[in-house]
Amino acid sequence: MGSVSLKIGDGTARFKRATVCSSAVNVLMIFSVISTNLFALYAFTSSSKHHQNHLFHNTHKNISLISEQVSLILREIDSSQKKLAKMEKELLGYETIDISRPNIANELKLFLQHHQLPLGKDSRTGITEMVASVGHSCDKSADLLSQFMTYKVSGPCPDDWSLGQKLILRGCEPLPRRRCFAKPVPKVGLSPFPISLWKPVSDKILTWSGLGCKNLECLNKKKLSRDCVGCFDLANGYENQKFVKVRSKNDFLIDDVLALASGGIRIGFDIGGGSGTFAARMAENNVTVITSTLNIDAPFSEFIAARGLFPLYLSLDHRFPFYDNVFDLVHASSGLDVGGKPEKLEFLMFDIDRVMRAGGLFWLDNFYCADDEKKRTLTRLIERFGYKKLKWVVGEKVETAGSGKSEIYLSAVLQKPARV
């Protein structure tokens, strides 16, 4: 045994021989440690025997108590998670589709996940994450939506445009984006602009899947709507005479309407514009017009694009994706009739007013009024906006189907006031 001494001067350390006194102390310490351990072992052994029966009887009671405590903790965690989810929805201002439900496509789950901004909170907008833009009614059509989102990533998209349109008509708008390639349709024989405006379009460059007719000849024999009877025939019939030749007092000429505009007409929006003939006539007058449409029973969007015009695939229930006060002209016909309660038409009219600049024109073109009450309701609604009536004609037409029934139509050109 020895002790260590550190000599500060030369930085070396050396052992010193142990003395008799230090050895005695070490022996005493060892004896004390051994005695203490023996006593502790004895005490532990006798205590175990004394409490063995007591612990056995209380084991079941303690397990039950722990189980109750765990259940209580789990309930508190579940309640806290629900409260947190509710607070998150209230703070963020939106709800999402429940992606935990069964049979939800993985692509839909991936698209709907919230993605945190890489640099945290955006100082300009205040948002902290990016959220997928999907119509709220998609939640009611989750099965169809999941079917729409089932495809091979980076592969060809299923030929299911009609499924997507069905979702849109159910209020599932906008649809989620997909990571697949749309079916290519060779656009062979497209004519240059402006020849494309009136040159007949080939059947071969249009998509006919999901449609009853498989060619334009079939479409031109059908009454697709009040505003589209033979509207795909650009060579014959009335389509190439629209807006330049009148058939009744309800028909206005484009030149006459353009002459009413203050500040000129440069860009316009045609709501439910059929095959795009209004946009074509305006293009001849150097006015750019966007035509909103859906492919209801016909390939409207592709046909309009083949004419060198701008189709917007959009339902009338969708808020117009344009900023306020941008259009010089908004044109609408019987497609403006959204049916249902009057409030639905009010929402649509206020959105039309929103995207139209002060001094701009709202051209209501041959709007079908089912009865006098419908006409009065629309008239009262228009008068609420304070538009100046530049043209206002209520006329009757004989129903073209051969029944001989007289129908009421309203045509008007209205100017939006400059409100304070």
Q: Confidence class of residue 11 from pLDDT cuts 50, 70 and 90?
A: very low
* Residue 66 tokens, joined: 């722990």
Percent of the chain at pLDDT > 70 equals 81
Higher pLDDT, 34 or 390: 390
**What pLDDT, on a 0 to 100 scale, did the predictor assign at position 17?**
40
pLDDT of residue 56: 52
- Cis bond before residue 174 (omega within 30° of 0): yes
**Kind plus residue range of the DSSP H or E element containing 312:** strand 310-313
Whole-prediction pTM: 0.74
Look at residue 367 and tell me whether its pLDDT is greater than 50. yes
Mean of per-residue pLDDT scores for the chain:
83
List beta partners, residue 398: 406
Q: What is the pLDDT of residue 88?
A: 53
CB 99 within 8 A of CB 109: yes
pLDDT digits (tens, 9 = 90+) for 100-137: 777 889 898 888 887 788 888 877 878 888 777 888 88
pLDDT above 50 for 3: no
pLDDT at 13 over 60: no
> What number is the average pLDDT over the span 81-87?
69
pLDDT at residue 86, rounded to an integer:
64
Report pLDDT for 60: 64
Tally the C-alpha atoms within 13 A of residue 59's C-alpha that lie toward its C-beta. 6
Q: Can you read off the two tokens belonging to residue 52?
A: 């063995």
- Lowest model confidence (mean pLDDT) among 284-288, 295-299, 353-357, 401-405: 401-405
- Tell me the pLDDT band of 7, cut-offs 50, 70 and 90: very low
Can you list the domains of the chain with their CATH numbers? 93-184 (no CATH), 203-416 (3.40.50.150)
Residue-level pLDDT at 251: 95
Whether residue 378 has pLDDT greater than 60? yes
Give the DSSP letter string of 2-34.
EEEEE-TTT--EEEEEPPHHHHHHHHHHHHHHH
Residue, of 49 and 389, whose pLDDT is higher? 389
Q: What is the mean pLDDT of residues 38-49?
A: 52
Prior bond to 194 cis, omega within 30? Answer: yes
pLDDT tens-digit readout, 159-213:
999 999 999 999 999 999 999 999 988 999 899 999 999 999 999 999 999 999 9
Residues 239 and 236: their CA atoms lie apart, in Å, by: 7
pLDDT at residue 411, as a whole number: 95
Closest CA to 294 of 284, 303, 286, 285: 303
Strand, coil or helix: 408 = strand
